[in-house]
Amino acid sequence: MPSYSAIIAGTGCYLPEKRMTNDDISKLVDTNDEWIVQRTGIRERRVVTPSESTATLASHAATNALKDARIEPKDLDLIIVATCTPEMVTPSTANFVSLSLGLGNTPSFDLNAACSGFIYALETGASFIESGRYKNVMVIGAETMSRVTDWTDRSTCILFGDGAGAVVLQREEVQNGKRDRGLLYSSLHADGGGWEFIFCQPGSRHPVDEKLVAGRNQFIKMRGREVYKFAVSRFQEMLQDALDKTGISVDDVTLVVPHQVNQRIIDAAMDRLKLPPEKAIVNLDRFGNTSAASIPIALDEAIKSGRLKKGDIAVFVAFGAGLTWANAVVRM
């Protein structure tokens, strides 16, 4: 019986055209460009207009990924959307993506692991392919974080942006019993005990009512200091785990594609593992933290700019609300 790898056959991303600079934010809260750049590395971010939504961003990214993979929507066997800012509570955002692609019978669902969501969805999609059940799986990370951001809270409103990134996973038969392309390794983790570090309340426990809205608790809340410590330690841990479990060396890694959370966090983790900073792709200065969309957006940029080519090894690392954290090793 043949065995299969899940290779990345195509990538795509989509960012809203509207830019919000640090100077724009300084008109809303008591802050300035220098303060934001020094603490986060972010200079601007993209935000949706009233006519845009998580599903519209995801659909554009999916269309671009399909073009890159040179397949048609009808060739897809499954669509997974990783998001914590879904189109609606129900139906799923993935259903709306399927509709936009003209599909009427293709299974689709959402997955929420916050900023780690793309890696969670990547492993899920790869599992369907490696089992031999599906040939082509669309995996999307898409967020409209501006819709859950409190623009009166300077500790959080400086961080987030909107966008979507997508990959087409494709089945490839493993030759000689050795998997040398595609997803080589991944690990997923969660600890619900840290849910209060990052959360957004509306739901069955805290339904939207006058009391919730009066306290502005419909927006995302964060304990910045605790999140910073958690992210630095998990970033380093997940990078080291990727090296240890696959047997690859620092020199073997072409590029680290991290969740775009904070420049200081990325720099600290890379330094502790003695990885040169140029081995990490960083675009948070232009896009901010786009949660589950950040890794696939950065991945698409890395490929399109020539920083990742066929045969190269990329390591994905993410961490976010849940608390969740994850990694993945991919040979392009």
Catalytic residues: 115, 259, 289
As given in the structure block, the two tokens for residue 211 are 């009391």
- For residue 205, the SS3 value is coil
Q: What angle do CA 11, 15, 17 make, to 5 degrees?
A: 145
CB 142, CB 57: distance < 8 Å:
yes
CA 294, chain centre distance (Å): 4
Rounded CA separation 293/118 (Å): 7
Contacts of 63 (CB under 8 A, 6+ apart): 12, 101
Residue ranges in 167-260 assigned as alpha helix (H): 210-214, 224-246
- CA distances 91 to 44, 109, 112, 212, 290, Å, are 32, 9, 14, 24, 22
The 3-state secondary structure of 128-193, one letter per residue: HHHCCCCCEEEEEEEEEHHHHCCCCCHHHHCCECEEEEEEEEEEEECECCECCCEEEEEEEEECHH
What's the chain's Rg over C-alpha atoms? 19
CB 118, CB 82: distance < 8 Å:
yes
Residue found by looking up tokens 């879904």 in the block = 86
CB 173, CB 3: distance < 8 Å:
yes
